[in-house]
Amino acid sequence: MSSEPVPPPPWRRSANKSARPHLSVATIVAAALRVMDAEGLDAVSMRRVAQDLGTGAASLYAHVRNKQELHELILEEVFRGLEVPTPDPRRWQEQLKELIGQTTRIMLARPGTAQISLQTMIPMRPGTLAAMDATLGILRCAGIPDQIADYAADALALYGTAYAYEASLWPSSEAGQAEARRRITEIEEYLSTLPADRFPHLLAMMRRPFHEENGSERFEFALDIFIAGLAKYADPGLTE
């Protein structure tokens, strides 16, 4: 009457193996993306991802340095879909707008990636480097001096990322959106309570329909303004 646990028969063992493939960076990133898409970036913890793979958190550390690296690998995976144009100096403004717009759309489509991008001080992987290289390419091709191109590419990437991050904070659930609208009403009531000269301009703005514009109007406007300001550094000989 031994009380030792019965070991599983060998065919069970191999069945398990084929049902859940070996851990690898690829399977881990895939699981992390699944978790992020379903439950948001906050849920992409080492423990939660490991759970999705039927193992413990410690097992992931053989393939990934830490959580920050796992998040960066998600960003890289998402940016693989980026399509970069061949620079045409006469169309630099449209190309720039389209490229920054595309990176922003990619991040908006996967809420969570904008936050990773913002947290990743130094981009170190091909996907994100490709986006930066392409932006620089368009600017330099238009004859914009390197120093200016460098600063402009940095500012454009930062603004696009911050815009996507802010947009991705907007709750996706019906309940969350109702709560957000409630908070906006709350502050409108608060503003109209105050003496009229406390925040006169916010008050004046409130009389226009609040937050009613088309989703990307804000973003496009800011981009247009910045590109207009940038245009004076382009070389008219190249851009006609």
Partner DNA sequence: ACCTGAACACCGTTCAAGT
Burial of 45 (0-12, 13-18, 19+ CB in 10 A): middle
Cα dihedral 107, 129, 219, 221 in deg (nearest 10): -160
Show the binding pattern over residues 103-132: x = contacts DNA (CB under 7 A), - = does not. Answer: ------------------------------
Show the binding pattern over residues 130-159: x = contacts a second copy (CB under 8 A), - = does not. Answer: x-xx--xx--x-----xxx-xxx-xx--xx
Assess 216 for contact with a second copy (CB under 8 A): no
Assess 200 for contact with a second copy (CB under 8 A): yes
Assess 46 for contact with DNA (CB under 7 A): yes
With CB under 7 A as the contact rule, the residue among 40, 67, 148, 188 that binds DNA is: 67
Judged by beta carbon, residue 184 or residue 238, the one nearer a second copy is 184
Judged by beta carbon, residue 31 or residue 111, the one nearer a second copy is 111
Judged by beta carbon, residue 23 or residue 106, the one nearer a second copy is 106
Size of residue set near DNA by CB under 7 A: 18
Q: Kindly state the smallest distance separating residue 162's Cβ from a second copy, in Å.
A: 4
Whole-Å CA distances, 91 to 75, 157, 175, 183, 216: 29, 19, 44, 43, 22
Assess 187 for contact with DNA (CB under 7 A): no
Assess 119 for contact with a second copy (CB under 8 A): yes
Cα dihedral 97, 102, 108, 111 in deg (nearest 10): -130
Assess 56 for contact with DNA (CB under 7 A): yes
Per CB under 7 A, which region of 52-60, 135-143, 206-214, 230-238 contacts DNA? Answer: 52-60
For residue 29, the partner it binds in DNA, a second copy, none, with Cβ less than 5 to 8 A by kind, is none
Q: How far apart are CA 237 and CA 155, in angstroms?
A: 25
Q: Kindly state the smallest distance separating residue 54's Cβ from a second copy, in Å.
A: 31
Assess 63 for contact with DNA (CB under 7 A): yes
For residue 23, the partner it binds in DNA, a second copy, none, with Cβ less than 5 to 8 A by kind, is DNA
Q: Can you give the binding site for DNA, defined by CB under 7 A?
A: 22-23, 43, 45-48, 55-59, 61-63, 66-68
